[in-house]
Amino acid sequence: MCTHPMIQGDNYGTTCMVCGEVLEGYGFWAEGSNSCHHKWIPEPDSKYEVCMYCEMTRPKGDNGES
């Protein structure tokens, strides 16, 4: 099991450069996943949070798979 010691990221997402696993978003240079591995950020003064990569929104605290 990889501990992801070398991570590369950009505005598309992050990827472990050792094992190639997409950790967030679509992966580095968007070359690792066809679906987004969301990273949720709370929207200020709102009941929602937004994915910093695909901009999908969900209610705060909703940990369901999307």
Q: pLDDT digits over 24-50, tens only? A: 999 999 999 999 999 999 998 889 999
CB 27 within 8 A of CB 40: no
Structure confidence at residue 54 (pLDDT): 96
Structure tokens at 49: 């949070």
Q: How much is the pTM?
A: 0.80
In the DSSP assignment, the letter for residue 37 is: B
Q: Which of 14-23, 41-50, 53-62 tops mean pLDDT?
A: 14-23
**pLDDT > 70: percent of the chain:** 95
- Higher local confidence (pLDDT), 66 or 35: 35
Structure confidence at residue 66 (pLDDT): 47
